[in-house]
Structure 1
Amino acid sequence: MSTETKEETRPEDPETHPNVDLSGEALGKLTAYDEDAVSDASATETDPSLSGSQSEQLLEDGQNSLDENSPLTELQPLPPLPPHPPGETPETRISESLGEESSDLVVEQQSQQAQNPNAAEPGPRARKRRRRKRFFTEINANPAFSRNRRTSVGKEVDSEALIAMSVGFPVNSLTEEEIEANVVSIIGGKDQANYIVVRNHIIALWRSNVSNWLTRDHALESIRAEHKTLVDTAYNFLLEHGYINFGLAPVIKEAKLRSFDGVEPPNVVVVGAGLAGLVAARQLLSMGFRVLVLEGRDRPGGRVKTRKMKGGDGVEAMADVGGSVLTGINGNPLGVLARQLGLPLHKVRDICPLYLPSGELVDVGVDSKIEASFNKLLDRVCKLRQSMIEEIKSVDVPLGEALETFRLVYGVAEEPQERMLLDWHLANLEYANATLLGNLSMAYWDQDDPYEMGGDHCFIPGGNEIFVHALAENLPVFYGNTVESIRYGSNGVMVYAGDKEFYCDMALVTVPLGVLKKGAIGFHPELPQKKRDAIQRLGFGLLNKVAMLFPYNFWGEEIDTFGRLTEDSSTRGEFFLFYSYSSVSGGPLLVALVAGDAAERFETLSPTDSVKRVLEILRGIYHPKGIVVPDPVQALCSRWGQDKFSYGSYSYVAVGSSGDDYDILAESVGDGRVFFAGEATNKQYPATMHGAFLSGMREAANILRVARRRASSSSSAASNPNQSCINKEEDDDDGDEEEDSCLDQLFETPDLTFGDFSVLFTPNSDELESMSLLRVSIQVESRDWLYGLVTRKQVLELGEMEGDELRNEYLREKLGLTLVERKSLSQEGESMISSLKAARLNRQIFD
């Protein structure tokens, strides 16, 4: 059996939750979320498993078996990268080869931390169990596909198409990103066919050795010279969108791209240091942006968190209390990081024995019958929605309601044990989606299924925090800075965290959907109605768990998962599934999951009561076998719904929502000023760690595209002396009138206004003692202005005063400042005006 799930990102428990004691042992608090799954289909990264629909696509694609028309020359197996010629720049070659790629290693079972006195015999192996039906097919086994492989070039093209497909590229078409990037002039023409072959070749070439920097020249070596333009286009696209030359290999971390030669690089504030934020920040820095990351927690990782648990006699373990499973290693960018860091992988084994409340194993015949019935129920729901697709778009219904209706109609699971088994499957489905089945959209709950990555599901020994710390290394992350509001306009962004303000050209928001749903960050102006509606429609669910470190492993080393049934359907999700981390954590660690209704009730219970309940269940299973279940030496209990940095676990498609809402959440606002990333912005891979990772890469590419567009506009403006006085060389003698006009343009978008006062802050400085240009409106015969220089701190004090009369008195009496006309400004004032004009060439001050 396998318990295949789709979720990956998990939140952390509020740090304020108290520790509790059980049997004299300290039970630490749990700050995490479990993320475990077992794969139904396994394959290595270079031999990806594909769904039936993907297989059919490839069979229909004549472009992927090109012979003499292929842009590729005759190919041998992908060669290692050539050595690094001395003196080359990062654009042509960053470093020499680091050698052959490190393969993914499978970790053998570790010896027990302490001797198990029970000496229990291994339980019977169970067959695979699936969360829902899959139709995986090995492409290489398909004879029709094999017939298309006519030449060595054709075979190479086919192989590379599979690798590109595992990364997420369609077989015979372009992605939306590629279309937007204008990689070819005509969609569907010969250039597109050749481009796809070249693109796939470059992806496969880098994936053959992810520890090296693939240069443009190396990509050209096996491609005909007349296709150099296609190589340049494909290489640039893949590089800038993070499909090649990304990750944590030393040569890649040292690489710096020249994205803004001769132009002041824009600055970006990233809100959130989870996977999406860290990946985006690292990518943006490599592109030449100035980047700052603001994180409310005191650590990086967000919903990826590894906790060290320990007890007496040297028993200890590393517990992934956040995202814990690499769900499908084929094409997975986290698999790339593991290879670059030389980390071994432990395949989660396809075995999950189920136990009755009495402790007996479930009857194999009944088990098989109910598993088949469960899959048929899902199939019937699928056929129903296909038959009424138009109606369901306007009137969605809950998945749970549809399943129960079919169960009653077909008389499924009428016997007590059968019903317990069906409830276990339903609880597993609620675990997969972090919510009750009554909340899931029947129409779109599984909209991401076609994109799921193939291959083994794996643990990283030592925990996923290894990724987090490597990604966060040397990044400018400011911890303990909880962003409360973001003001954005056509000319920039201000991000407010407590009493701190951060000006930037663009901001990237990577907070969980739960935070957006709570309205914990205020946006000014308000987010577009379409985005606000999508935030409310999409679901953000809850899953909880109890992690327990025992003095020894009493459940056996031959399994990674086991489940238990319950007689009461209303409690079907209560500790229904256990994960063993003994093979990867360094100690006898067991994690119990709580899903559905039970996950919500769990948060109302004390940690002591929760751990006692888990022990009752475990002893009910193992005591009848004569196996002693000891007290844990430490236990942790999650409370994700109470975590103010997440307010839940991960996203799901709720009734009335659809996959389109993920795309809406991903849209930028303010004409490319505020961007959004995170698992809930990734339609293809929501609720996964790799989904968060890929969304960070996506938005880094989008930010680069917008920044280049603005730089180009600024260059055009600078070359047009009649466009704005801010862009003029000011070498004429038009006098004070023109000077005043220029200043008027600057003050059209002030940083701050109150009463008749307007303020422009010093560009690129948040220091309280930095100078600000103050303008005060006065009425004589006509409206006029007076000016003065004050510090940013003094401006804030002025803004807190009631009325302009008090402000003017403050200037005269407290500061001794006399406001003057424009022509009487000091040299310091003139210098500041020049700085403001220069800054507006590339990015004008915040509106």
Structure 2
Amino acid sequence: MEPQDLSDNPTAAVSGESTPENQSSPPETTLEVRVSDSQLDETSEPPPKKRRRRKKQFPEMISSAAAVTGLRILRPHPKSNIYSEKIMDDIIGMQINDSPALSKTHRRRRRIADLAKEVDVEALVAISVGFPVDSLTEEEIEANVVTAIGGAEQANYIVVRNHILARWRWSVSTWLTRDHAMESIRSEHRNSVNSAYSFLLEHGYINFGLAPAIREVQLKPNDSLKASVIIVGAGLAGLAAARQLIFLGFKVLILEGRNRPGGRVRTRKMKRMDGCGVIAAADLGGSVLTGINGNPLGVLARQLGFPLHKVRDICPLYLPDGRMVNSEIDSRVETSFNRLLDRVCKLRQAMMEEVKSADVSLGTALEAFRRVYKVAEDPQERMLLNWHLANLEYANASLMSDLSMAYWDQDDPYEMGGDHCFIPGGNERFVRALAEDLPIFYSQTVESVRYGADGVAVHAGGQEFRGDMVLCTVPLGVLKKGMIDFLPQLPQRKRDAIQRIGFGLLNKVAMLFPYDFWGGEIDTFGHLTEESTMRGEFFLFYSYSSVSGGPLLVALVAGEAAINFEMMSPVEAVRRVLDILKGIFNPKGIAVPDPIQVVCTRWGKDRFTYGSYSYVAIGSSGDDYDILAESVGDGRVFFAGEATNKQYPATMHGAFLSGMREAANILRVANRRSLLC
């Protein structure tokens, strides 16, 4: 950030219980253990792409109040200092009570140094939330936060915006008023304060969440009713939008096809066969808070007092015969894999400069380079390389053959930094809290949406619901299947984007055991296979013992194996998983017990999702996410969900943020319409 003259710096002077399974799920199948074939849905948070697999999996429990950039501790970089949440108060106190014994020049130098530090800290908070350092976002430009782009007004606005944002992030359980935002800013910058405060409030960057003080203001009856909005889907996007819209003065109704909220966030409570007590909570869908810096779900965790488990960095790999992979070979293949990715990135850069629209599959490009550079020709090394490819297929819910070489990682620049975390007890705890007090109509599968100049009509469950606008938050898989008729039909531009964006598959086998036989010292471990087409079958195991409440293992099924898995009986799936576990632990003299209960997901067959999460397919790009997010019908039909969020696709926080985004868009359209009337 450019150094700013203190005379123009706005902050330089200080003024005075679980619901039943959805009805489409097949019945439980019993072998010698309870095996449930679940079609509940699946949007497991993928780890960031092109990262090492040993991504911090389950370290010590940490307080959610001390885990997030922009909260009590700022950690924008491993070498950064820890800044106190009271830095603003310290600066104010220093300016008011400066020691008379110090020279005027010395006092000014102290003020300059501390103010510069404060501005830098607040800028880091803003960066963690997704704001650029020295420019406005597209949302801010569209909201006309300044009268002219560039210049002193914009520079002052950015400093003010960062200050307000950081001030609330330091105390997320209280409502930050406009007057509070003005307290430490020069009075001549009141216009910037009003502009920044209104923008941050209406777009859900401050004063959102589930703390008692926040809820009290958000759900307070609003006499100035703006319009009525029908929200299709009670996932994270729909729930976030509903709460924000109610606060903004809209009448809201949510239609949900399932008999529970949450969508692809689903926590299954697993019990003993005798039904005595819940002893484990398994996240069958979205499970990881990917990057806690700036993550809005991290804010919710703080407000609700949920502790966080950082994901720890240990992941031994086992050969098909159960032997552990030699660490030297493991490291060598991993290095080669990363170099292959680097070479592909250089190739695509050259291709995009020469041929603007060139694209092939990432899998094809990697295999070509593997052959040219003779990587992983040894059978064991080839199995290791296939494991890394399976991990990449897991991250993208895609087959390597379907993934765009040109744009598969287009969201990397926006990635939220920080630790990846788990919420003990599962992410449905967020869902239940968000859904509380909202007008949700369950078991209402939407069949059609009719829109025009006079409003919208939504047909669901044999009923018609009428409103001024509709927000569609259904998964991309539902839109691809054409399960909802839009009348008139959606513009060709949007229909093309729906078909171009990929919507892939990841499945899980959650197994509750009578005790933790794999040992508390490891939290994840991987398994290699000789058959490349089956490389994603049970290739990675997560230990949830430290967060689920019981000895729980979750095996992941990715890539082509995830598709084949949906045709496999749950009994056969359990047999295969147990064979792998016995092959690993029996030679060590550790007996593998039969599981108490097993749940197998079937996200591809779930009629409310038809898949897990989005990815950039060959011929697609980040632009298609933006097209899918566009409203249609002159501001009558809006769209939210992870597949509408170019910056944070395939994540829970991406869905949440898209709901906030559309609430602001709906407000803007409603205000414009009221001015025209």
Shorter-chain TM-score category? 0.7 to 0.9
- Residues 1:218 and 2:188 aligned together: no
Name the structure 2 match of 1:208: 170
Query: Which amino acid counterpart does residue 221 of structure 1 have in structure 2?
Result: E
What is the distance in 2 between the residues matched to 1:611 and 1:683?
37
The residue correspondences of 1:257-272 to structure 2 (distance < 5 A) are 264-272=225-233
Give 1:76 deviation, angstroms: 3.5
- Residues 1:191 and 2:153 aligned together: yes
What is the distance in 2 between the residues matched to 1:342 and 1:460?
11
> Does the Cα contact within 8 Å between 1:48 and 1:455 map onto a contact in 2?
no
> Does the Cα contact within 8 Å between 1:668 and 1:674 map onto a contact in 2?
yes
1:220-268 CA-to-partner distances (Å, cap 9, x unmatched) read 111111101100000000000000000001111111599986x553100
Give 1:35 deviation, angstroms: 3.8
Name the structure 1 match of 2:106: none
What is the distance in 2 between the residues matched to 1:44 and 1:505?
38
Query: Given the alignment, which residue of 417, 427, 432 partners 1:469?
Result: 432
Note closer, same or farther for the CA distance 1:497–1:274 as it changes in structure 2 (3 Å cut): same
Name the structure 2 match of 1:19: 28
Give 1:481 deviation, angstroms: 0.5
Give 1:79 deviation, angstroms: 9.2
Query: Which amino acid counterpart does residue 170 of structure 2 have in structure 1?
Result: S
Corresponding residue SS for 1:234: helix
The residue correspondences of 1:101-250 to structure 2 (distance < 5 A) are 151-250=113-212
Query: Given the alignment, which residue of 381, 395, 411 partners 1:432?
Result: 395
> Does the Cα contact within 8 Å between 1:39 and 1:328 map onto a contact in 2?
no
- Residues 1:285 and 2:246 aligned together: yes
1:138-175 CA-to-partner distances (Å, cap 9, x unmatched) read xxxxxxxxxxx962111100000000100010111100
Query: Which amino acid counterpart does residue 200 of structure 1 have in structure 2?
Result: N
> Does the Cα contact within 8 Å between 1:48 and 1:454 map onto a contact in 2?
no
Name the structure 1 match of 2:267: 306
1:653-696 CA-to-partner distances (Å, cap 9, x unmatched) read 00000000000000000010000000000000000000000000
> Does the Cα contact within 8 Å between 2:225 and 2:250 map onto a contact in 1?
no
The residue correspondences of 1:613-624 to structure 2 (distance < 5 A) are 613-624=576-587
Query: Given the alignment, which residue of 558, 565, 575 partners 1:602?
Result: 565
Name the structure 2 match of 1:509: 472
Name the structure 1 match of 2:484: 521
- Residues 1:706 and 2:669 aligned together: yes
Note closer, same or farther for the CA distance 1:32–1:691 as it changes in structure 2 (3 Å cut): same
Give 1:44 deviation, angstroms: 4.0
What is the distance in 1 between the residues matched to 2:92 and 2:295?
22
The residue correspondences of 1:623-772 to structure 2 (distance < 5 A) are 623-714=586-677
Note closer, same or farther for the CA distance 1:78–1:409 as it changes in structure 2 (3 Å cut): farther
Q: Aligned pairs, how many?
A: 615
Query: Given the alignment, which residue of 432, 448, 460 partners 2:423?
Result: 460
Give 1:710 deviation, angstroms: 1.0
Note closer, same or farther for the CA distance 1:568–1:258 as it changes in structure 2 (3 Å cut): closer
> Does the Cα contact within 8 Å between 1:680 and 1:687 map onto a contact in 2?
yes
- Residues 1:45 and 2:7 aligned together: no
- Greater mean alpha carbon deviation, residues 312-321 or residues 381-390: 312-321
What is the distance in 2 between the residues matched to 1:685 and 1:264?
32
Note closer, same or farther for the CA distance 1:374–1:307 as it changes in structure 2 (3 Å cut): same
Give 1:39 deviation, angstroms: 4.3
- Residues 1:295 and 2:295 aligned together: no
Name the structure 2 match of 1:384: 347
The residue correspondences of 1:346-425 to structure 2 (distance < 5 A) are 346-425=309-388
Corresponding residue SS for 1:245: coil
Query: Which amino acid counterpart does residue 293 of structure 1 have in structure 2?
Result: I
Give 1:322 deviation, angstroms: 1.6
> Does the Cα contact within 8 Å between 2:129 and 2:295 map onto a contact in 1?
yes
What is the distance in 1 between the residues matched to 2:511 and 2:91?
46
Asked which structure has the greater CA Rg, the reply is: 1
What is the distance in 1 between the residues matched to 2:479 and 2:121?
42
1:610-648 CA-to-partner distances (Å, cap 9, x unmatched) read 110000111111111111001101001111110000000
Query: Which amino acid counterpart does residue 636 of structure 1 have in structure 2?
Result: V
Name the structure 1 match of 2:290: 327
Query: Which amino acid counterpart does residue 233 of structure 2 have in structure 1?
Result: G
> Does the Cα contact within 8 Å between 2:211 and 2:304 map onto a contact in 1?
yes
> Does the Cα contact within 8 Å between 1:258 and 1:287 map onto a contact in 2?
no
What is the distance in 2 between the residues matched to 1:292 and 1:200?
34
Give 1:568 deviation, angstroms: 1.3
Corresponding residue SS for 1:567: coil
What is the distance in 1 between the residues matched to 2:653 and 2:606?
22
Note closer, same or farther for the CA distance 1:44–1:707 as it changes in structure 2 (3 Å cut): closer
Query: Given the alignment, which residue of 508, 532, 537 partners 2:500?
Result: 537
1:746-780 CA-to-partner distances (Å, cap 9, x unmatched) read xxxxxxxxxxxxxxxxxxxxxxxxxxxxxxxxxxx
Note closer, same or farther for the CA distance 1:281–1:608 as it changes in structure 2 (3 Å cut): same
1:193-219 CA-to-partner distances (Å, cap 9, x unmatched) read 110000000000000010000011111
Higher RCO, 1 vs 2 (CA within 8 Å, ≥6 residues apart): 2
What TM-score results when the alignment is normalised by the length of structure 2? 0.88
What is the distance in 2 between the residues matched to 1:169 and 1:258?
30
Query: Which amino acid counterpart does residue 561 of structure 1 have in structure 2?
Result: T
What is the distance in 2 between the residues matched to 1:671 and 1:571?
48
Gaps of 5+ in 2: 1-20, 48-53, 60-66, 81-86, 94-110
> Does the Cα contact within 8 Å between 2:219 and 2:243 map onto a contact in 1?
no
1:285-341 CA-to-partner distances (Å, cap 9, x unmatched) read 111111000000000000001111111475721111121111111100000000000
What is the distance in 2 between the residues matched to 1:78 and 1:275?
39
Query: Which amino acid counterpart does residue 359 of structure 1 have in structure 2?
Result: G
Query: Which amino acid counterpart does residue 235 of structure 1 have in structure 2?
Result: Y
Note closer, same or farther for the CA distance 1:593–1:258 as it changes in structure 2 (3 Å cut): closer
1:763-819 CA-to-partner distances (Å, cap 9, x unmatched) read xxxxxxxxxxxxxxxxxxxxxxxxxxxxxxxxxxxxxxxxxxxxxxxxxxxxxxxxx
Name the structure 2 match of 1:486: 449
Name the structure 2 match of 1:557: 520
Query: Which amino acid counterpart does residue 181 of structure 1 have in structure 2?
Result: A
What is the distance in 2 between the residues matched to 1:500 and 1:390?
54
Query: Which amino acid counterpart does residue 628 of structure 2 have in structure 1?
Result: L
Gaps of 5+ in 1: 1-11, 56-73, 81-148, 715-847
Note closer, same or farther for the CA distance 1:15–1:580 as it changes in structure 2 (3 Å cut): farther
What is the distance in 2 between the residues matched to 1:428 and 1:594?
10
What is the distance in 2 between the residues matched to 1:79 and 1:15?
60
What is the distance in 1 between the residues matched to 2:429 and 2:561?
31
What is the distance in 2 between the residues matched to 1:193 and 1:39?
38
Note closer, same or farther for the CA distance 1:579–1:601 as it changes in structure 2 (3 Å cut): same
